[in-house]
Each structure stands twice: as structure tokens, then as C-alpha cells.
Amino acid sequence: MAIHVESHSAVHAHDDHGHEHEHHHGNFWTTYIFSEDHKVIAKQFLITGMIWALIGGVLSVLFRLQLGFPEANLSWLKPVLGGWLTPEGKIDPEFYLALVTMHGTIMVFFVLTAGLSGTFSNFLIPLQVGARDMASGFMNMLSYWFFFLSSCVMFVSLFISTGPAAGGWVIYPPLSALPQAIPGSGLGMTLWLVSMALFIVSSLLGSINYITTVINLRTVGMSFTKLPLTIWAFFLTAIIGILSFPVLFAAALLLIFDRSFGTSFYLSDIYIGGEALPNQGGSPILFQHLFWFLGHPEVYIVLLPALGITSEIIATNSRKPIFGYKAMVGSMLFIAILSFVVWAHHMFVTGMNPFLGSIFTLLTLIIAVPSAVKIFNYVTTLWKGNIRFTPAMLFSIGLVSFFLTGGITGIFLGNSAVDIQLHDTYFVVAHFHLVMGSASFFGMMAGVYHWFPKMFGRMMDEKLGYLHFWLTFVGVYLVFFPMHYIGIAGFPRRYYTWTAFETFSGFADLNMLVSIAAIVTLSAQFIFLFNFIYNIFRGKLAPTNPWNSTTLEWTTPRLPGHGNWPGEIPTVYRWPYDYSKPGAKEDFIPQHIPYSETPESNLPHENDQIKLQFGDKPL
Amino acid sequence: MSEAVDFKIVEEPKRPLAMHPKKFGLWLFMASVFILFMAFTSAYIVRRAEGNWQIFELPALFTYSTIVILLSSVTMQWTYFAVKRNQRANAKNMIVLTSVAGVIFLALQWMGWGSLIESSIHLVGNPSGSFLYIITGLHAAHIISAIVFLLVVLANALRNRFNLNQIEMCTTYWHFLGVLWLYLFVFLTLLR
Ligand code: HEM
Ligand SMILES: [Cu+2]
């Protein structure tokens, strides 16, 4: 370890005499591949996350084809799917389950956890707290490469002959524990577990780094009350990650032992083909407890960074201070704490004691309070603001909309009695795709549009951004809103087909509509992809502070080099939301401007912070 | 006029509180290890409450290993003090002694497993036994990582390089694993 520290400081010493060429001491490999620079690592996470998002999206369209057009002949997909199509040209039922499982796993973990936190925590934490890099660049690099390895394993599992894991993203045993149960529980499940173990390592390395950086590497003046809400969100997300991912690791480890070494943690009294398995004394419910103890905090790991990003973007583009900064921090903190005591709302129908059920109902419904505070604060920030509708702003407002519509259905689900009808139906699918999937995805998109100029030094095209937004926004509602009705009618999720049930035939049209909307929405993402890739190379050069924003990242050069600021790191004097301050010359005052330079807009208590000094002596 | 120039307005932003980042990171790592074992012991409690739970005595060897690991914490702390007082030879001895104690601990755990098997408690079987193997095994894996860390410190020491921060981190981690074992031992003894 000491050796590493020394080599690091050698690099810095080198840096000092060759500042104009930031990268001249690294070759291609150390600069772009095994880079320890947080900005490069952020881009690696972003690009990998985008590739995963595309794969996950394509998988979902495949199973939507089956749901919307159960009679269609898909033989034209033969070149891609090969043996996963039946001779009649339909998707193999086993493969359908694999598609749903992989879609969920990819989207929740690889896109919205690694892709979102990995990109923006890495990119923004050092830039916004005023640090030259992460606390440990080496660990940060490891974090990416563990993620990469984990990605490779998961990717390979898509192509093995027995197919990838197929027990749902929640991998409940005994289905996932017994290779005899479904083909996907063979090698596919083993690879899934290996991949997730690597993923957990990556996530822990990342989280440890984020927390350490936020606490220890802030620039002078950057007290906790002056942190941008983005940083608060990333910080709390990382804490949740450290406290919950080890539990998933424990759950997975016990599952691995059940699968490969014959233990019976989750297995008991199972008969296959009339033969009893030797496993006795296990409890599948135990797995659910362990899984959801991670699983519920995980949904906030996915959502909080998106909420942080939107807070920042909404304040900037409303040209108003965020409404209720302390309430925003407080509600995130409250959500983070509560997220650890509500896990059993996913298990209301596992035969749990009804009294326990009502306790978890109560705790679950309390989450609605801080969530409502956040929505209220977003709306009040927008209220009478001088709103600029940039694409990033539209996506942020979209997030608020999804968070609201999806959160409301959570209140229905949180009631243990109502959940008996709704559990495991499309109502749940609608709920979490709006509140988690779409909201976080919109947060991520908002972040990309907003910080693209800082990442790549160029601007994205606004018109294409608008087009992308409207198609996606309308598309998402068309996809997920009808699912509420389908779910209330009792459609279970993860079913291959309903054509055999007369009751459900009335919903065939609705399902078709949903599928068509899904295809359109996925296609719309290619507009974004074009906009993104083309403008990395050809975009208009970005000004250093294109959105007239107050936070520190916009005080760096157009393309910040290694170490972020060519000179000294700026000092912070004020909170990040001095927008449209009465009396100020401009409608924003960056964090590094001292109060002594803005006498025209200072409030009395701010004036108190300026001391008059005569020579070196205070007056 | 020239007097007026001497008037200055000063603002003194505070330097935020900060710890050594690596030490801080180590604490976070230990927090996640702690949570990992909390997960196992909670799972143990939940599963035990469901009944069909085989009860057996912990091997006596685990009592000896507990004593060894606690004693090794003393030698570890000794190392730290020795380095701090610049008693280098002493420090080297103590590092070696601590590592040896760590290995003895592992050996005792291994033999403890052996005596469990003799009383026919196997990894495969009633979950009460399986849990015991998993929990002690995972703890042993962490002890191995700590021994590796000690060996790195030792390698540096043999080249006469003493990094106080590194040694402090190693000490913290070692104590942590000792206390963790104490918790597990008490837990497994009380909740059979
Ligand atoms: C007002 C706040 C919320 C409440 C009361 C609530 C309640 C619930 C309940 C009771 C379920 C279980 C339904 C069932 O399986 O029968 C559920 C599922 C789910 N919720 Fe929420 N929720 C809320 C907000 C959120 C948020 C903010 C997210 C994500 C960011 C989220 C993500 C999920 C996910 C992913 C599932 C489904 C997991 C699965 O079974 O695959 N929820 N919610
Ligand atoms: Cu939940």
C-alpha cells in the first residue's frame, strides 16, 4: 500500500512541471483504459451503462412482442434467437422467463445502480465538493473493473445453451436453488450469482470511495450545509449501499451453498417427480427476508441519485433557490433510514402474522410523508420561477411526474389487505416501473443532458433533446398506465401467455397498445444515442458555464484535466442555490464568490461574516 | 489615502473536518463486514425461531482460539506502540508473533471443525450446523486477509520501512476481527 502511495505522489510531482499537457505522462492504456481519473471512470460507467440499457431494452421488447402479439410468427428473429424460438416461430416459454429475469437484473443493477451512481457519483463528487480526485483513484479503478468483469459474466450467461437465470430478478428459491426446476437454474443461475458477487464488490468499493471523498476531501468552506443536494443524495445512497449490499451477499452466499454444496438453508420437503430431495429444515422465506432487506433499500439506491440530480437541475433552470434545502436533506435522510424497516411489504402474502403485516403497513405508509415533502418542494421551486425548458429540465420535471404517479400506487400496495389482491400482478409492475424505473431513468437522462458539456466539452442538440423527451415521456405513460388496469383485473406478472384464460381475453387490445408503445419508446432512445455520440465529436463547443450555474464544477476549464483545476482549488463561501438573489447583479452567484464582493445582495447575517481588518489586525 | 488601502475585508471560510482518507475507508469497510455478519446472525435467529433446529455443544477448541485471538490483539497493539516509540527490532518481533498467533487461531478453528465432524455435525445437514460452518469459515477468511495485511507490513518492516498509518490501520483491522470473533463466539454459545 505504501508503495502505491509513493508512486502516486510521483505522478503529481511530474504533473507540476508539465501542466499544459495534462495527459502527457500517461499512455493510451493508463489514460483511457486503466485510468484512475474519476472523470474517465465516470465515462466508462456511463458508456457501459448505456450499452446495458440498450440490451435490457431490447430484451423487454422481445417479451412485449409475446405479450402484445401472442399469435404472431417471429421466425424473422431466428438469426438472433436461434433455438429459443419454437418451430411455430414463437418465443420459447422458458426463454420468456429468462428474458424477464435478465431485463430486471440488468435494469436494476447494471443500468440504474452502476450506470447511474457510477457515472454521476464519480463525475460530480470531486468536481462539486472541490477535490482533485476521489480519495483512492486505485480503488475507484478497481470498482469499475469489477463491474466490467461482472458485466462480462452476466453477458456470457445470455448465450449459454441452457439459457440465463430465469427465476425472476429476485431469484427466489427453491426455483433458483434447484437446477432440476427450470433450465435457467442450472449454469445460468451460477453465472448470475458469480456476476452479482463481483457486482457487490464493485459497488462496495465505489461506495466506500464516495463516502470517504465527501467527508474528507471537501474544499475549504464546503461545510455540509453548503453541499449541493446532488452530493447529499450520492452520499446517502453510498451509505445505504454499504449497509445493504453485504446482506445481499450473505443471501447469495447461502444460496450458493444450497446449490453447490448440498446445504439446506432455503430448502425443505421438496419432491421432484415423486422423489423427496434429501434437503430438510430450510426456509425459503428466510431468503425473502434477506433479499428484501437489500431489495427495498436498493430501490432507493436507484432513486436517490436521480432525485439529487433533479434538485440541482430544477433549481438551476427555475432560476430560484431550491425550496426547503434543509427539508430536502432531511427527507432524503428520513427515506434512507425508513428504507431499512419496510422490507416485509414485499412479503405480505407469505403467510406472515397479520399483526406484523399491519406494523409494516404503517412503516411503509410513513415513507409517503418524506416523499410528499420532496414533491412539494420541487413544485414550489418551480412555482413562479423563471423557467428555462432545457432538455435536462424537461426530464427532471418528467421525473417529478413519475415519482408522483408511481408513488401514489405505492400507498395502495402498502396496505397489507389491498396487497392480497394486487401482489404479483401488473399493478406492481406499473408501480415500480413508474416510480423507480422511469423516474430514475429520467433522472439519469437529465443528468446526461445537463452535464454533457462538462463531460465532453461540447453541447448536445436541444431540438433532438425535446423530441427524445416527448416521445419517451408519452411513451412511458402509454406503456405503464394501462398496466394498472390490467393488474387490478388480476393479471399475474411473469406469465408467458393468457390466451388460455377466457377472463383475460378482453385485455388483448390493451396489451397490444402497450407493446406498440414500448417499441416506439425504445426506438426514441436512438435519437438520444445519435445526439450523444454525434455531439461528442461534432457538437458546438461548450462555454465553461453554459447553464449559469452556481456549483464548483462550472469553475473548471471547458475540459477539466487531471486534477480538475489548473490552479488552486476554489474556496467556497456560500450555499449552492444563490439564484435570482434580490439586488444581485446577475441572476446567479457561484459558490466561490465571497460575500465581500457582493455587498449589494448580502443579507444581514451574511454581512456579519465579513470582518473588517486593518493591516493584519482585526478591528 | 494610503491608510484606507490598508483596510481589508476578510472572510474566513472554515476548513472542513477531515480524517486520513484511507483510515476512514477502512472504517467503512469494517462497517460493511460487520453488516455481513449481522445478516448471518439475524438469519440464524430467524431460522432458529422456526424450530426443527439441532442443538449441539460448541467445540472446546473454540474457547482456546478465542483466547489466542484476544492475546494476539495485545501483541498487535504492542507492535503499534513499538513503532511509535521507534523500537524497530521489537516491532518486527511483535509483527511476527501476531501473525503466528493468527495462524494458530486458524489452526484451532480448523481442528474445531474436525471435532464437530467427529460428533457428526456436518456442513450438509440441519441448518444449525451449516450456519456454524459458514459463519466461522467466513470469519476465518477475513482473518486470512488480515494475516496477508500483516505480512505486507512485515515485508515493509524487513526493508526497514515503517509506515505508522499503515500499521495503525492494520492494528485497527486486527482488533476489529478479534472483537467480531468475540461477538460471534458469545452469540453462538448463547443461542444454540
Ligand atoms: C410511497 C412510497 C412507496 C410505497 C408505499 C411502496 C410500496 C410498495 C409495496 C407494498 C410493494 C410490494 C407490492 C407487491 O409485491 O405486492 C412495492 C413494490 C415495489 N416498489 Fe414500491 N413503494 C413506494 C415507493 C417506491 C419507490 C420510491 C421505489 C423505487 C425507487 C419503489 C420500488 C418498488 C419496486 C421495485 C417494487 C417491486 C419489486 C418486485 O416485486 O419486483 N417503490 N412498493
Ligand atoms: Cu419496497
**pLDDT tens-place string over residues A69-122:** 988 888 888 888 888 888 888 899 999 999 999 999 999 999 999 999 999 999
Nearest CA among A33, A34, A32, A90 for reference residue A63? A90
Distance CA A176, CA A189 (A): 7
Inter-chain CB pairs, A–B, below 8 Å: 153
Q: What is the pLDDT of residues A418-433, one digit of tens each?
A: 999 999 999 999 999 9
Distance CA A196, CA A101 (A): 14
Share of chain A above pLDDT 90, in %: 75
DSSP for A26-64, written as a single string: S-HIIIIIS---HHHHHHHHHHHHHHHHHHHHHHHHHHH
pLDDT at A342: 94
For range A577-606, the mean pLDDT: 89
For range A458-483, the mean pLDDT: 96
Q: Number of C-alpha atoms within 13 angstroms, CB side, residue A199?
A: 27
Helix (H) or strand (E) run with residue A614 in it = strand A611-614
Which residues 6+ apart lie within 8 Å of A245 measured at CB? Answer: A200, A203, A204, A207, A294, B32
- Dihedral, CA atoms, B179, B185, B191, B192, nearest 10 degrees? 160
Q: Determine how β-strand B7-10 pairs with β-strand A275-276.
A: unpaired
Domain ranges (residues) in chain A:
36-268+275-538
Q: Read off the pLDDT band of B120 (50, 70, 90).
A: confident
Three-class SS state of A214: helix
**CATH at B92:** 1.20.120.80
Q: What is the CA radius of gyration of chain A?
A: 25
Which residues of chain A make contact with B10, given a CB cutoff of 8 A? 596, 610-611, 613, 618
pLDDT at A6: 34
Q: Which domain holds residue B137?
A: 63-190
Which residues of chain A make contact with B20, given a CB cutoff of 8 A? 216
| Helix runs in A174-283, H state only | 187-216, 229-260
For range B51-79, the mean pLDDT: 92
Q: What is the pLDDT of residues A271-315, one digit of tens each?
A: 888 888 888 888 899 999 999 998 999 999 999 999 999 999 999
Interchain contact, B11 vs A209, CB within 8 Å: no
Q: Read off the pLDDT band of A24 (50, 70, 90).
A: very low
Residue B56, pLDDT above cutoff 50: yes
pLDDT at A9: 34
The rounded Å distance from CA A287 to ligand 1 centre is 18
Residue type present at position A404: L
pLDDT at A80: 83
DSSP for chain B, written as a single string: -HHHHTEEEE--PPPPP---HHHHHHHHHHHHHHHHHHHHHHHHHHHHHTS-----PPPTHHHHHHHHHHHHHHHHHHHHHHHHTT-HHHHHHHHHHHHHHHHHHHHHHHHHHHHHHHTT--SSSSHHHHHHHHHHHHHHHHHHHHHHHHHHHHHHHHTT---HHHHHHHHHHHHHHHHHHHHHHHHHHH--
Strands of the A611-614 sheet, one edge to the other: A617-618, A611-614, B7-10
Residue B45, pLDDT above cutoff 70: yes
Residue A10, pLDDT above cutoff 80: no
CB B150 within 8 A of CB B100: no
Sign of CA dihedral A173, A174, A175, A177: positive
CB nearest A242 (choices: B7, B12, B31)? B31
Nearest CA among A591, A570, A565 for reference residue A133? A565
Residue A23, pLDDT above cutoff 70: no
Query: Which residues form the pocket of ligand 1, taking CB atoms under 6 Å from any ligand atom?
Result: A 170, 299-300, 302-303, 345-346, 364, 367-368, 371, 407, 410-411, 413-414, 419, 422-423, 428, 431-432, 435-436
Grid cell digits, residue A68: 402484445
Q: Determine how β-strand B7-10 pairs with β-strand A611-614.
A: antiparallel
Q: How many CB atoms lie within 10 A of CB B170?
A: 24
For range A392-415, the mean pLDDT: 96
Q: Read off the pLDDT band of A614 (50, 70, 90).
A: low
pLDDT at A338: 95
CB nearest B29 (choices: A208, A263, A614)? A208
Q: What is the pLDDT of residues A519-573, one digit of tens each?
A: 999 999 999 999 999 999 999 999 999 999 999 999 999 999 889 999 899 999 9
Residue A22, pLDDT above cutoff 50: no
Which residues of chain B make contact with A135, given a CB cutoff of 8 A? 21-22, 24-25
Whether B181 is covered by a domain: the verdict is yes
pLDDT at A615: 55
Ligand 1 binding pocket mutation candidate from A428, A429, A441, A483 (most atoms within 8 A of CB): A428
Residue A11, pLDDT above cutoff 50: no
Distance CA A566, CA A358 (A): 58
Greater confidence (A31 vs B53) lies with B53
Whether B48 is covered by a domain: the verdict is no
CB A520 within 8 A of CB A461: no
Q: What count of residues does chain B have? A: 192
Supply the pTM of this predicted model: 0.91
Q: What is the pLDDT of residues A179-234, one digit of tens each?
A: 888 888 999 999 999 999 999 999 999 999 999 999 999 999 999 999 999 999 99
Q: What is the pLDDT of residues A219-231, one digit of tens each?
A: 999 999 999 999 9
Is A614 in the B-facing interface, judged by CB distances under 8 Å? yes
Q: What is the mean pLDDT of chain A?
A: 90
The ligand placed nearest to the CA atom of residue A408 is: 1
pLDDT at A432: 96
Say which range, A146-155, A275-284, A334-343, A404-413, has the weakest mean pLDDT: A275-284
Three-class SS state of A222: coil
Q: A residues 584-603 near B, CB within 8 Å?
A: 594-596
Is A513 in the B-facing interface, judged by CB distances under 8 Å? no
Class of A36-268+275-538 in CATH: mainly alpha
Three-class SS state of A613: strand
Total of domains in chain B:
1
pLDDT at A2: 35
Whether B55 is covered by a domain: the verdict is no
pLDDT at A521: 97
Q: What count of residues does chain A have? A: 619
Share of chain B above pLDDT 70, in %: 95
Whether B44 is covered by a domain: the verdict is no
Residue A12, pLDDT above cutoff 80: no
CB A165 within 8 A of CB A63: no
